[in-house]
Amino acid sequence: MATLASSHLNKGIKQVYMNCLWNFDGSSTFQSEGSNSDIYLVPAAVFRDAFRKDPNKLVFCEVFKYNRKPEDTNLGHTYKRKMDMEYTLMGTDGHTFGWPSNGLPGPQGPYYCGVGADKAYCRDIAEVHHRACLQAGIKIWGRNAEVMPVQWEFQIGPCEGINIGDHLWVACFILHRIPFLKTGCHANFSTKAMQEENGLNKRHQYRIRAYDPKGTLGNARRPTEFHETSNVKDFSAGVASLGASIHIPRTVDQEKKGYFEDRRPSVNCARLP
């Protein structure tokens, strides 16, 4: 089970939550049959409530079946990585915020890590989200404006093991309090197996399915070969290439050690196997 996320919480309070076991109607969420509906919520991590403040808490839970085995969408296994999450801010009419009503903004170039009201739209929202994550005890370590106007990215980590998923999902929960469209996720990681011959390519189709709790529906929206993405059907790796499945930073290629960036995950990627 995951280590608790926030070292700032009182240990006694953590233990109270971690000893709790809740059940809910799984048939209402398509996670069980109506004739055997009850499934379990098991606390995995406790955070401060960034909205209602202390003593309120946000409790991140895993879902288990009636027989105490992980529910099918609970992909909680060990891994070691850090994540970047991208999101795009939308207006209440569903139109991308700040874009011309009858056209598109200028081409990419001045927006990535940009400054100025005509380049980095809605910085106040990105900053509020960042501060709320800090208040909650989430390991958020950065944010930046992305290549498209009103597209922002935040970085979670570094974390060890399953902790990264806990922090990422609670950060997304906080962001869900603001109208927006999430677009993608990148995972930076390093494993011994991936540094062996052809170690990157052995399980591409398995990973593509595992990244997306909805099979491949979420992934199919992002890896399209356009806008610096790879093809969802094919595996590729390249040094300094943002259009490849696996982006190998130039310094990693030169030093023959470090980390790789997996650019395949859909935004709804969970706690991956």
Kindly report, residue by residue over 162-215, the tens digit of the pLDDT. 788 889 889 988 988 866 555 567 778 767 766 666 555 555 566 666 665 555
What's 11-64's CATH class? alpha beta
How would you label 112-149 residue by residue, b for 16+ Cβ within 10 Å and e otherwise?
eebeeeebbbbbebbebbbebbebbbbbbeebebbbbb
Tell me the CATH architecture of domain 81-262. 2-Layer Sandwich (3.30)
Q: How far is CA 243 from CA 32, 238, 240, in A?
A: 39, 8, 9
DSSP assignment of 131-172 equals HHHHHHT--EEEEEE-SSTTEEEEEE----TTHHHHHHHHHH
Omega of the bond leading into 158 within 30 degrees of 0 (cis): yes
18-46 residue pLDDT tens: 677 888 888 888 888 888 888 988 888 88
Region of residue 240 (left: phi > 0; alpha: psi -120 to 50; beta: else): left
pTM of the predicted model as reported, rounded to 2 decimal places = 0.64
Residues 107-124 have a mean pLDDT of 86
d(CA 266, CA 44): 23
Assign 17 to helix, strand or coil.
helix
Range 214-223 average pLDDT: 55
With 90 as the cut, is the pLDDT of residue 221 above it? no
Per domain, the residue ranges of the chain are 11-64, 81-262
- Tell me what the mean pLDDT of segment 128-146 comes to: 92
- What is the Cα–Cα distance from 249 to 224, expressed in whole angstroms? 22
| Residue 15: per-residue pLDDT | 64
* Alpha carbon distance 182, 161 (integer Å): 24
Q: Which residue has the tokens 């608790």?
A: 4
